[in-house]
């Protein structure tokens, strides 16, 4: 049974889909240069990219292509409405965007580390970060923190998994992929940044501001 699509979640999904269609099929490819997020030290960096990168996804027919936005929006559709109803719209929006911002800055920290280790800065300056994954990892982490014993079903896994095992799984897998360089082209440390931010915020709210029945 799918959750009822709540207003903020619906608007985020609609905006993501609209920008994807405009930037890929209405001949505005320049939006990728304007709205994707470049490393903070890059000459292509603009301050608004800290927010706008959350609404851009891999170009159609390139890399992971349309599966990028499909997977992100399906995940948000599955977890977002529950959190929006429990937290309220203001806290939910704060959770979503703070997680996305944290994702960007942890990815920048990793880029800085790479430069300090001898990577060519020019190879990093021109590579944009895009996608709602960091924000959505924050949503998933918050869900697993607030509802740790909820049983989740995933495709290709024939048994339910409790939500409390989801967050450590995300962190471990992302750390391994990030340090090993596996699945290149994916900002694994951005995922960690979003997940950690979502966990910390949900933990604080759970302990200090409201109780979950």
Identify the structural domains of the chain with CATH numbers, from first to last: 7-208 (1.20.1540.10)
* pLDDT, position 184: 58
Q: Rounded to an integer, what distance in angstroms lies between the CA atom of residue 23 and that of residue 192?
A: 27
- Do 152 and 56 contact (CB within 8 A), yes or no? no
Q: Identify the pLDDT of residue 80.
A: 95
**pLDDT value of residue 87:** 95
Residue 178: C-alpha distances to residues 28, 63, 119, 129, 188 (Å)? 32, 18, 15, 15, 5
Intervals of the chain under pLDDT 70: 1-3, 27-29, 153-159, 178-185, 209-213
Q: Mind listing the pLDDT tens digit for each residue in 4-62? A: 789 999 999 999 999 999 998 876 668 899 999 999 999 999 999 999 999 999 898 78
Question: Interhelix angle for 89-116 vs 133-146, to 10°?
Answer: 120
């Amino acid at each position: 049974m799918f959750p009822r699509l709540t207003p903020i979640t619906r608007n985020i999904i609609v905006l993501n889909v609209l920008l994807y269609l405009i930037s890929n099929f209405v001949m505005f490819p320049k939006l990728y240069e304007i709205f994707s997020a470049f490393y903070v030290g890059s000459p292509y960096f603009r301050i608004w990219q800290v927010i706008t990168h959350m609404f851009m996804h891999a170009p159609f027919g390139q890399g992971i292509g349309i599966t990028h936005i499909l997977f992100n929006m399906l995940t948000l559709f599955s977890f977002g409405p529950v959190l929006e109803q429990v937290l309220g719209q203001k806290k939910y929006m704060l959770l979503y965007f703070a997680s996305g911002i944290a994702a960007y800055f942890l990815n920048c920290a990793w880029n800085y580390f790479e430069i300090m280790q001898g990577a060519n800065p020019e190879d990093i300056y021109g590579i944009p970060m895009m996608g709602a994954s960091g924000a959505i990892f924050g949503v998933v982490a918050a869900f697993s923190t607030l509802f740790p014993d909820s049983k989740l079903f995933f495709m290709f896994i024939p048994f339910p998994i409790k939500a409390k095992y989801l967050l450590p799984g995300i962190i471990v897998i992302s750390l391994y992929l990030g340090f090993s360089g596996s699945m290149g082209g994916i900002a694994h440390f951005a995922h960690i940044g979003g997940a950690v931010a979502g966990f910390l915020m949900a933990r604080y709210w759970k302990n200090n501001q409201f109780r979950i029945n």
